[in-house]
Structure 1
Amino acid sequence: MTQTTADTSLLLGRTAPASAGDRAIKRQRVLDILDAKGQESLLLTSNTALTWYLDGSRVHISLAGDPIAAVLVDRGGDHLVTFNNEAGRIAAEELPDGVTLHSVPWYGNLHQAAAAVGIAGSAAPAAEADVAAELRAARQQLLPAETARYARLNADVAGIMTDVLSTARPETTEFELVAALAARVVAAGAEPLVLLCNGSSRSDFRHPLATHSPLGRRAMAVVCARRDGMVANITRWVRFDAGTPQERDAEARIAAVEADIFDATVPGARLDRIFTEIQAAYTRHGFGADQWEQHHQGGPAGYAGRDPRVTSAATDTVVPNQAFTWNPSGPGVKIEDTVQLTESGVQVLTVDPRWPSTTVNGLERPATLQL
């Protein structure tokens, strides 16, 4: 195994986005986990943990594949191990200051190699699975530099939705719409993790992968886009007529469900108790008591689409500066934005002032774009 030092002369197209201040806090959070567990080192192997700890480094090649890097955090420092065919790019474009880079042959065992680079004679490192809840808690409260990066990403994605959906027509196909969204997301330096669309003929489906069907009289589009490790989530609706009274009523009621969820999302609240409130909100606003069972309801956001999805088993406690994406839905309706819990309450991040909105419980929420 070889050790490499970053050559700043190779920084041609990208600079590692990491903030020294944020990274120092993250390292201390991990060291605190080691202290609490009586461990000397921790091996980070998942995309979520790696991109959080490295503060935005890209550690993937295939969006469907495993990360091409692993990081050992020990008392002596941070060690990133990657394959030899990735090391040059990692060194030039993704390696934060203060992280030592090691490489192994492309056919080597990445995790075994990473576990072996720590202080000689130390015990085997803790695995992510051993401290999953603690790492998730460490990711909850977004730090200043990553908060700024996240806000820019979410605003960019919201603007992309406005630009693309404003040009849609009833004859536009679902594939054409998501292709346009994908092109704009990639042009913004992000990766489209989820692209969904349903025209009026497929509005019953809550996770509608696109088809060649035309949009027809109304359509939903969903984008989950990742940049510098962070994921923005957004849903928007467009229609080409005035909509039916039933549709407009359901849109108002699902926004009321979301407003109740926002009211329950306060520092100190437990996710399982928010989940109970979500279930009650559906009934309170005229949806069937089983509607929460038809689609997941969202949860904390940031370095994963949901971190975690909220269920009755999720007992994490909400903290200030945490990000969320709640996505209540009913038959033919859904509402979804990425937000952050600030000192003044919920702040919507996926916002574009050009998109039509309506005030719900004092907060501007997206309306259906009528063309």
Structure 2
Amino acid sequence: MNPSTILADTSTAAPGSVLPDTSAADRAAKRARVLDILAAAGRDSVLLTSQSAVSWYLDGSRVGISLAGDPIAAVLVTAGGDHVATFNNEAERLAAEELPADVTLHEVPWHGSLTDVSAWFGAGVAPAAEAELADALRLARRSLLPGELHRYEALCRDAAEALTEVLTHVTPRTTERDIAASLAGHLVAAGADPLVLLANGASRVAFRHPLPTDAVLGRRAMAVVCARRDGMIANVTRWVRFDGGTPAELDAEARITAVEADIFDATVPGATVAEVLAEIRAAYDRHGFGPDQWRLHHQGGPAGYAGRDPRATDAVTDTVVLNQPFTWNPSGPGVKIEDTVLLEAGGIRPLSLDPHWPATTVNGILRPQTLQL
């Protein structure tokens, strides 16, 4: 072992460390999955470099500094063990607070390269780049393990509760930026990164990705949260209004919920993501939105360690499996519904519900309604 190589020490992990009791078992399962991928590809190792793959493989370790930047760590998976490379100004924190106990940590100069494996590991391996095995790695993280699911459920609840806390206190004079600022504060206080914060008032309700402005909410509003913690991302949308709603709005809300119910019915083990997307197209037409509504906004897809992992298109032939999370987000003019859910043996179970938010049961599944203030 060279002087720049140290063993991660988690014995003094700080309070709030992301290492759950199930970490060892989950880590072993993930390592076995990756070794199977390597064997099938005829490779001896792989270098994981993306936020999704690194945080998944390290069981939720925080490997980002800038939300807009690349991870500050890379993982070399070999038959002989797991090796994490990070910059010298990051190594002490990672070793003390973030890394599983079963990895070897290598320091790279802050001006060096994480992907130059020969410089920090040696010439003993010729790893596959993550991109070469990206599809197989994505499939390997589809089904959540016990520790992952426990953390994800907690994150989704926290995201939903943040929306409840903020939106129950808004008024027609609240601005969109006020909502975003309050949501950011609640999420950061819960230990989550606010990756996406959207808000629109009545004057901007036509925009489906409404970055917040100084506009006031007026008579109705939408807020969207995409929050990351332990490497996983919860996606939630909520609506609020200050009157009874117009007949057209109430009708559209009921119809978009019916579209979502059809999507949930189509999200079954063995179906492909492309097949679910085909059902989404049919559902829009069936419920009065027309055959082309799906073209006006993406429809969501599998969730977990990416906002969508991947976003649903006709080219995605990944099959649906049990214990896989999804965030479908059907939308129409002035309406949208979105929660992070889990496919279990008994069907779809929403993860991002807050019992304090108004809800109704649709096809046996509790779904959020517009909050009327």
TM-score (norm 2): 0.97
Query: Aligned with 1:364: secondary structure?
Result: strand
Distance 2:268 2:7 in 1: 44
Indicate which of 50, 72, 80 corresponds to 2:76: 72
Contact 1:81 1:114 in 2 (8 A): no
Partner of 1:239: 241
Letter in 2 for 1:91: A
Partner of 1:133: 135
Measure how far apart 1:232 and its partner are. Answer: 0.4
Distance 1:314 1:96 in 2: 33
Query: Aligned with 1:60: secondary structure?
Result: coil
Measure how far apart 1:116 and its partner are. Answer: 5.3
Indicate which of 174, 181, 188 corresponds to 2:176: 174
Indicate which of 46, 53, 57 corresponds to 1:53: 57
Distance 1:264 1:44 in 2: 33
Measure how far apart 1:11 and its partner are. Answer: 3.1
Indicate which of 40, 43, 51 corresponds to 1:39: 43
Query: Aligned with 2:356: secondary structure?
Result: coil
Contact 1:50 1:70 in 2 (8 A): yes
Partner of 1:340: 342
Alignment of 1:315-326 (within 5 A): 315-326=317-328
Measure how far apart 1:9 and its partner are. Answer: 6.5
Contact 2:227 2:233 in 1 (8 A): yes
Measure how far apart 1:6 and its partner are. Answer: 3.1
Distance 2:101 2:13 in 1: 13
Letter in 1 for 2:124: G
Q: Once structures 1 and 2 are overlaid, which stretch shifts more, 256-265 or 17-26?
A: 17-26
Contact 1:84 1:105 in 2 (8 A): yes
Contact 2:329 2:336 in 1 (8 A): yes
Alignment of 1:82-97 (within 5 A): 82-97=86-101
Contact 1:104 1:113 in 2 (8 A): no
Contact 1:15 1:92 in 2 (8 A): no
Measure how far apart 1:343 and its partner are. Answer: 1.1
Partner of 1:214: 216
Kindly report the root-mean-square deviation, in angstroms, between the aligned alpha carbons of the 2 structures.
1.3
Distance 2:147 2:354 in 1: 21
Distance 2:15 2:218 in 1: 42
Partner of 2:204: 202
**Alpha-carbon spacing, 1:212–1:27, altered in 2? closer, same or farther (3 Å):** same
Distance 1:269 1:93 in 2: 40
Contact 2:10 2:98 in 1 (8 A): no
Alignment of 1:285-296 (within 5 A): 285-296=287-298
Measure how far apart 1:115 and its partner are. Answer: 7.7
Contact 2:205 2:221 in 1 (8 A): yes
Contact 1:80 1:114 in 2 (8 A): no
Partner of 2:114: 110
**Alpha-carbon spacing, 1:117–1:14, altered in 2? closer, same or farther (3 Å):** farther
Indicate which of 6, 11, 14 corresponds to 2:13: 11
Query: Aligned with 2:106: secondary structure?
Result: strand
Distance 1:40 1:175 in 2: 50
Partner of 2:66: 62
Q: Deviations over 1:20-68 (max 9, x none)?
A: 1000000000000000000000000000000000010000000001111
Indicate which of 113, 124, 134 corresponds to 1:121: 124
Distance 2:118 2:345 in 1: 40
Distance 1:114 1:327 in 2: 44
Q: Once structures 1 and 2 are overlaid, which stretch shifts more, 186-195 or 358-367?
A: 358-367
Q: Once structures 1 and 2 are overlaid, which stretch shifts more, 153-162 or 181-190?
A: 153-162
Kindly indicate whether residue 191 of structure 2 is the aligned counterpart of residue 184 of structure 1. Answer: no
Distance 2:158 2:124 in 1: 48
Partner of 1:263: 265
Partner of 2:31: 27
Partner of 2:363: 361
Contact 2:8 2:103 in 1 (8 A): no
Partner of 1:153: 155
Distance 1:216 1:351 in 2: 26
Query: Aligned with 2:340: secondary structure?
Result: strand
**Alpha-carbon spacing, 1:237–1:16, altered in 2? closer, same or farther (3 Å):** closer
Q: Deviations over 1:296-341 (max 9, x none)?
A: 0000000011000000000000000000000000000000000000
Distance 1:143 1:9 in 2: 23
Query: Aligned with 1:111: secondary structure?
Result: coil
Query: Aligned with 2:211: secondary structure?
Result: coil
Partner of 1:283: 285
Contact 1:257 1:285 in 2 (8 A): yes
Query: Aligned with 2:86: secondary structure?
Result: strand
Q: Deviations over 1:115-165 (max 9, x none)?
A: 8526x533x101111111100110001001100110111111111111110
Query: Aligned with 1:85: secondary structure?
Result: coil
Measure how far apart 1:113 and its partner are. Answer: 3.4
Kindly indicate whether residue 85 of structure 2 is the aligned counterpart of residue 81 of structure 1. Answer: yes
Query: Aligned with 1:73: secondary structure?
Result: strand
TM-score (norm 1): 0.97
Letter in 2 for 1:297: Q
